[in-house]
Chain A
C-alpha cells in the first residue's frame, strides 16, 4: 500500500497532551475530537489551520508518549493525516494506531525529512521516497500480525473474523 503526502515535522517526545490536550477528554464525538488535533504541540496551530487530507506527520523519538487516550489517534487520523513516521513510538500510541488503522512507520533518520517535503511511502516494506529531495530511505514496517490487523480494518473487525 502506497501513501503519498506532504510533510508536517514535529520534534522528540511529542506526548498525548500535546497531540490532544487533557481538557477535551470528555468529548466522545469523533468529529469534534479532530478540532483539537496537535493543539498543544509546538507548531500545532499552523498544523490545525493548514493540514490537508493525506498529509504525513514526521516526528522524532517516543512519539505519542504519555496517556493512553485514543483521542490522540482519532484526532490526527480524522483531520486527514494519512501516515505517521517517527524514530520511535510509545507502546500505547503504536497499538492504538494499529488497532484503528492509522499507518505508521519507524525510521531512524527522520531528521533528514523537512517540513513541506513530499513523500511516497510503501507502508508494507517501509520504503520511503522523498520526492522533494530525490532521496530514498529504508524505514521499518509494522509486524506481520499488526499488518493483518490493520488490513482487517482494525482490531475489532479482526477479532470478529477470528471467532
Chain B
C-alpha cells in the first residue's frame, strides 16, 4: 500500500483500495478565523450547544485577517473566542501564526494522523507525514460533531527526484518546475508521494514548500516520508508516540515520474497561473513594484534566512516595497534572535506580524491595478491580490534578489 492507503487502512481497520469510499476517525479538526465562524454557525444550527466529539481534538487558529482588520472580522474573531471558551477547545490567537504550521509546531500534527481543516493548504502537513485535508464549512462542522468523515481513497502518483541542486536553487524551484510539467490539474483527486535522494535530504521548511504546492496541482495530499530530523522535531513536541510512515515496497502507483534536478535553474510562475512557469533568466528584467517573502509555503526560518543572506548589508531598490512575514511566532523569535530582523529592516523591508499575509485580497499590502509583485506564496490567480495586478511566484532567494534590483533577477546574479 502507498502512504495514503496505509493511513486510511489503519483508520478504517481494514485494507483499502484506490477509488473506494471509507469512513475514517479523525485525529484533529481545525478551523481558522475565516471559515471558522461559518463552521460554528452551521454546527449550532444543527447541533445547538452539544459538546464537540472531543475537545482535545478541535483547534481554532487565527492567521488570515490578524489583528482584526475591520469590524466584521473583529465580530467573527470574538464569536470564535467565545465558542472556544464555552466548549473548552484550543484556540491559537493572533500572536501565533499560520494554522497548519502551529499544528505541527505544537505537536498536534504528527505522522499517521488524519487531520481536516478549513484551509485549502492543510495538505502541507504531508511534509511531516500527516494526512491533512482542506475542507469546506459543512465537512468541518460534521467532523467536529462526529469525529469521523467519509473519504474517497485517492490513487497515488509517485514523483522521484534525484540530483544535487545548484547553489541558490531551492525546493520552491523544484515544485514550480513540477507544476510546469504536471500542470494545475496534474494530480487532480490524487495523492502524491515525493521520494528519491534529493527529497530525503530536504529539511522541514523545504518539505513544507513541496507538500504545500500539491494543492496547486489539485492533489489531495503530498507526502514525504519523515526522516530522523523530522521525527526528532515532532517527538520534542508531543507526549504521544511518534512513528515514521512510508509506503510498502510493493505499493502500487497510478503513475511514476522521475526528475533530475542537477541542471535546474531558478523557476518563476508567471501571471496568472501557478503552472505558467519559466526559467527566471527568461523573464529577467521585468519591472516589479513589490516583493513579498512569507506565506504557508515559504515563510519559515530557513526561507527567511536565505533571503536575509542575499539582502545582508544591501538596500532594496528605491521605489520598491519589500514585505517580509514570518509564518509563525516561533519563526519570528528565531529570526529576531539570529539578527534577521536587523538585516530586513536595514535593507528597507517592512516586517509584519506572523500569519498568512499576502495570500489574498483583504490583507494589507495588496496591489493597485497594473502593479507587479514577486511573491514566495503559492497562488497567482487573476485578481487574487488586487484587480488588474500581476503576481509572479518564486523562491525566497529569487524574491530577495528581485527586491535589490527592482526587476526580476536570478539570485545568482546579485
Residues of A at the B interface (CB closer than 8 Å) are 13, 15, 17-18, 21-23, 25-28, 40, 61-62, 65-71, 73, 88, 90-92, 95-96, 99-100, 143, 145-146, 149, 154-157, 159-160, 162
10 intermolecular pairs with C-beta atoms under 8 Å apart: A17-B382, A21-B361, A21-B383, A26-B362, A28-B38, A62-B218, A67-B134, A91-B189, A155-B142, A159-B146
Most buried by B among A17, A26, A70, A88: A26
> Smallest CB–CB gap between B168 and chain A, Å?
30
Q: Which residues B1-49 have CB closer than 8 A to chain A?
A: 21, 34-35, 37-38, 41-42, 46-47
Q: Which residues B113-151 have CB closer than 8 A to chain A?
A: 118-120, 122, 134-139, 141-142, 145-146, 150
> Smallest CB–CB gap between B392 and chain A, Å?
17
Complex CA–CA separation, A138 to B185 (angstroms): 23
Interface size on B, residues (CB 8 A): 46
Contact A92 B142 (CB under 8 A): no
Contact flag A145-B273 (CB < 8 Å), given A25-B362, A156-B142:
no
Complex CA–CA separation, A142 to B38 (angstroms): 26
9 pairs of A and B residues whose beta carbons are closest in the complex: A22-B360, A70-B136, A96-B136, A99-B138, A70-B137, A68-B134, A23-B361, A68-B120, A26-B72
Complex CA–CA separation, A68 to B64 (angstroms): 14
Residues of B at the A interface (CB closer than 8 Å) are 21, 34-35, 37-38, 41-42, 46-47, 64-65, 70, 72-73, 76, 118-120, 122, 134-139, 141-142, 145-146, 150, 152, 184-185, 188-189, 218, 220, 273, 360-362, 379, 381-384
Contact A73 B136 (CB under 8 A): yes
Which of B65, B122, B137 has a CB less than 8 Å from the CB of A26?
B65
Which of A13, A25, A160 has a CB less than 8 Å from the CB of B184?
A13
Contact A26 B73 (CB under 8 A): yes
Contact flag A62-B142 (CB < 8 Å), given A22-B360, A68-B135:
no
Contact flag A154-B120 (CB < 8 Å), given A62-B184, A65-B218, A70-B38:
no
Most buried by A among B146, B189, B381: B381
Contact flag A92-B34 (CB < 8 Å), given A40-B382, A157-B46:
no
Chain A residues lying within 8 Å of B139, measured Cβ to Cβ, are 95-96, 99, 155
Contact flag A13-B73 (CB < 8 Å), given A21-B383, A155-B138:
no
User: Which residue of chain A is the closest to B275 with respect to CB atoms?
Assistant: A13
Contact B120 A67 (CB under 8 A): yes
Chain B residues lying within 8 Å of A156, measured Cβ to Cβ, are 42, 46-47, 138, 141-142, 145
Contact flag A28-B138 (CB < 8 Å), given A17-B360, A157-B46:
no
Contact A159 B142 (CB under 8 A): yes
Contact flag A92-B120 (CB < 8 Å), given A28-B37, A62-B185, A65-B184:
yes
> Smallest CB–CB gap between B65 and chain A, Å?
7
